[in-house]
Amino acid sequence: MSEGDTGVKQAMARAKNVRIAPRKVRVVADLIRGKDVQEALALLGFTRKRASEVVGKVVKSAAANAENNLELDPDRLYVSQAFVDAGPTLKRWHPRQRGQAFEIKKRSSHVTVVVRERERR
């Protein structure tokens, strides 16, 4: 919810510690980057990935932040940035043969979406 380097207003929303591996969420985030908010939400509604629900919530939140806090036009909003960072990894142990223990890494993600208003043509 700040102005970028060019003075353009932008709103941001972030979901932290989402219990889905980052590489799985990045597939969904790549689908919506650069799209209008309404188009992105429609696309996420028909995407058969567990991460699409999480990314959809973050897009809705960023759009609401832009509309309510910065008073931007909701019809002209688009997803300017969508990226996924790795969150904390839960380390669990799984018993194996001959007394061995194998490590299981349960990865989590931080999802960030930035929306901006398109310029008038």
Give the range of the structural domain holding residue 18, as residue numbers without chain letter.
2-117
* Model pLDDT for residues 52-108, shown as the tens digit of each residue: 999 999 999 999 999 999 999 999 999 999 999 999 999 999 999 999 999 999 999
Number of domains in the chain: 1
**Cβ–Cβ < 8 Å for 29, 82:** yes
Q: What whole-number distance in Å separates Cα of residue 63 and Cα of residue 10?
A: 10
Q: What is the pLDDT of residue 119?
A: 83
CATH of the domain at 10: 3.90.470.10
Q: What is the pLDDT of residue 8?
A: 81
Residue 42 has which token pair? 């429609």
* Model pLDDT for residues 5-17, shown as the tens digit of each residue: 566 889 999 999 9
- pTM for the full predicted model: 0.88
| Backbone torsions φ then ψ of 88, nearest 5 degrees | -65, 145
Q: What is the pLDDT of residue 75?
A: 93
**Cβ–Cβ < 8 Å for 15, 54:** yes
